[in-house]
Structure 1
């Protein structure tokens, strides 16, 4: 019951203070809140999941106003984990997180076709 009350309070707060358009949907199978944020032009800005207690969970993706992928990030119960990818026109950066801290950083230039932005 406590989680349900928190979930309702979270939804009301999220909707009340929204600066961007967003969609919230509870996935009953995973007990995660699926979120989609939108740019002013209607293009998806971010997608990801929250736990019922408001922590970031799983894969989060960020896009620019034209729909190009900018960031692929991973969270586990609000902590940064695994490989994160940052795309620009000229580079791809891979940041590896361990214990919520940066463990390593790699960078590639756009001269190779190593990784393609979807």
Structure 2
């Protein structure tokens, strides 16, 4: 009986794994575009590799297809401004030498000054 239960559990595990959408990799000039997916097939993350290191713009999406993170890599290291969106705020994280240099947070209730000239 244990063998049958083990066989059923193994079969379910294999079937569940087989349904996962595998990442795709496509050569574009001197970089490789990588796309990673959620279990339902929607895009989770897209970005580029060069010489097996993260490079250029990388974008992460939620399951509804909304951007939740965008940032850049150079030679496998985080550089420049990264933006992270969540329900409450937008975060701007500035990277210098692959380390956080500063963080700015904007919340929905933040006031913006406009010049109506």
- Fold equivalence (TM over 0.5): yes
- Give the Cα separation in 1 of the matches to 2:87 and 2:72: 22
Q: 2:93 aligns with which of 82, 92, 95?
A: 95
Higher relative contact order (CA 8 A, sep 6+): 1
- Give the Cα separation in 1 of the matches to 2:26 and 2:78: 23
Q: In 2, are the aligned partners of 1:22 and 1:37 still within 8 Å (CA)? A: yes
Describe the shift of the 1:25–1:45 C-alpha distance in structure 2 as closer, same or farther (beyond 3 A): same
Q: Which residues of structure 1 form unaligned runs of 5+?
A: 1-18
Aligned position for 1:47: 46
- Give the Cα separation in 2 of the matches to 1:96 and 1:23: 29
Aligned position for 2:56: 58
Q: 1:86 aligns with which of 84, 105, 112?
A: 84
1:69 deviates by 0.9
Q: In 1, are the aligned partners of 2:21 and 2:41 still within 8 Å (CA)? A: no
Aligned position for 2:27: 26
Taking only aligned residues, the RMSD between alpha carbons, in angstroms, comes to 1.7
TM-score by length of 1: 0.73
Q: In 2, are the aligned partners of 1:86 and 1:93 still within 8 Å (CA)? A: yes
Q: In 2, are the aligned partners of 1:21 and 1:39 still within 8 Å (CA)? A: no
Q: In 2, are the aligned partners of 1:75 and 1:81 still within 8 Å (CA)? A: yes
1:21 deviates by 2.1
Aligned position for 1:69: 67
Give CA-to-partner distance per residue, 1:64-100, whole Å, 9 cap, x none: 1111111101100101100000100110000000111
Larger radius of gyration between Structure 1 and Structure 2: 2
Q: Which residues of structure 2 form unaligned runs of 5+?
A: 1-19, 113-117
- Equivalent pairs, count: 93
